[in-house]
Amino acid sequence: MSAEHGITRESFEERVREHLAGFPGHEHERLAAAFAREGIVHLGKLLPPDLAAAMNEEAVWLLENHGRRREVVLPTTGNTPRSYRSVARDSIARWGGIIPCFFHSEAIRGFLAEVAGERLHKVPYEPEEFIVNALEAAGDTHGWHFDDYSYALVWVAEAPDPMLDARVEYIPGVRWNKEDPEGQLKELLATRPVRSLYVEPGTCYLMQTRKTLHRVSPLADHCRRTAVIFTYANDHDLRDDSITHETMEAIYEPEIA
Ligand SMILES: [Fe+2]
């Protein structure tokens, strides 16, 4: 894939630096303020149009050639479902080009750190570095959960008509109660407003995923919502030995085993 697009890590880095340097200074401040308030912010056009198109294409190609259906219900997140097709990290590392470039990019991570207001590190757990996920059938959903690490950058490669759901839904400012995930989920859904966001293809959002309960709502019809998920850690995550990986191990059991 990388050869096809003619993209190397160096050329990707240079193009992205140039592109991000064109963002006006007040735009960084606006994004940082929105992120601090909401725990999520839509970043719009983080890549120049040709690289955005290449990301979208690569995600779809990987999905169609190396994707695998996942159908699990996870007790660790309150018995919520994961029903989707996805491509595991190792297949992306082997067959992808621009997605690994994005993950390893210092320019991208530096920009995200400005928005987040703290240092971001590449996630120290390989299976979570990058994943491609697609809701593809009516009822497919990425059920309610928190992530193991603090930040996810989610790139939307394909999105259905806004009438067909598959929206990002979230409740900010909460922390995963691993002792009673189902009780916590019921209580939060009963007492807090659920917010939601539609994200158009070729754009992305940053989320504080350890302090934001989130899901992608069930797809209403047969079509596709495809996303690339990149995971980053903060300083605290790197020191936190309570982080475990049961969710990832359950979803990607065939690959991780
Ligand atoms: Fe997540």
Domains of the chain: 24-235+245-256 (2.60.120.620)
The pLDDT score that the predictor gives to residue 70 is 93
166 CA from centroid of ligand 1 (Å): 14
Quickly state the pLDDT bin for 4 (edges 50, 70, 90).
low
* DSSP string over 148-204: SSSEEEEEEEE---GGGB--EEEEES----TTSHHHHHHHHHHHSPPEEE---TTEE
Q: Determine the distance separating the centroid of ligand 1 and the alpha carbon of 180, expressed in angstroms.
A: 18
Say how many Å lie between the CA of residue 215 and the centre of ligand 1.
7
Write out pLDDT tens, residues 74-111: 999 999 999 999 999 999 999 999 999 999 999 999 99
Across the range 56-80, mean pLDDT stands at 95
Greater pLDDT, 192 or 6: 192
Q: How confident is the model over 146-195, as pLDDT tens digits?
A: 999 999 999 999 999 999 999 999 999 999 999 999 999 999 999 999 99
Residues 237-257 have a mean pLDDT of: 85
- For ligand 1, a single-atom ion, the residues with CB < 5 A are 147
Closest Cα to residue 115, out of 23, 237, 19? Answer: 23
21 CA from centroid of ligand 1 (Å): 29
207 CA from centroid of ligand 1 (Å): 9
How far, in Å, is the centroid of ligand 1 from the Cα of 233? 13
Per-residue pLDDT band for 1 (boundaries 50, 70, 90) equals: very low
* Total Cβ atoms within 10 A of residue 95: 17
pLDDT at site 3: 42
Is the pLDDT score of 46 beyond 70?
yes
Q: How far apart are the CA of 210 and the centre of ligand 1, in A?
A: 9
Is residue 142 a contact partner of residue 225, using CB atoms and an 8 Å limit? no
Give 1 Cα–ligand 1 centroid separation in angstroms. Answer: 26
CA of 208 to the centre of ligand 1 (A): 9
Q: How far is the CA of 4 from the centre of ligand 1 (A)?
A: 31
In the predicted model, what is the mean pLDDT of residues 214-218? 97
Average pLDDT of the chain to the nearest whole number: 94
Q: For residues 204 and 84, is the Cβ–Cβ distance under 8 A?
A: no
State the distance from the centre of ligand 1 to the C-alpha of 232, rounded, in angstroms: 12
**Residue 143 alpha carbon to ligand 1 centre in Å:** 9
The tokens for 53 are 């198109």
Quick one: what percent of the chain has pLDDT higher than 90? 87
Q: Comparing 43-47, 103-107, 205-209, which segment has the lowest mean pLDDT?
A: 43-47
| Strands in the chain per DSSP E | 40-44, 68-74, 80-87, 121-122, 130-135, 141-145, 151-158, 168-172, 195-197, 203-208, 212-216, 225-233
Mean pLDDT of 11-31: 93
Q: How far is the CA of 8 from the centre of ligand 1 (A)?
A: 28
CB 177 within 8 A of CB 246: no
Over 80: is that where the pLDDT of 245 sits?
yes
Q: How many residues does the chain have?
A: 257
CA of 6 relative to ligand 1 center, distance in Å? 31
- Residue 2's pLDDT band (boundaries 50, 70, 90)? very low
Residues near 197 by beta carbon (within 8 Å), at least 6 away in sequence: 40, 42, 167, 168, 170, 205
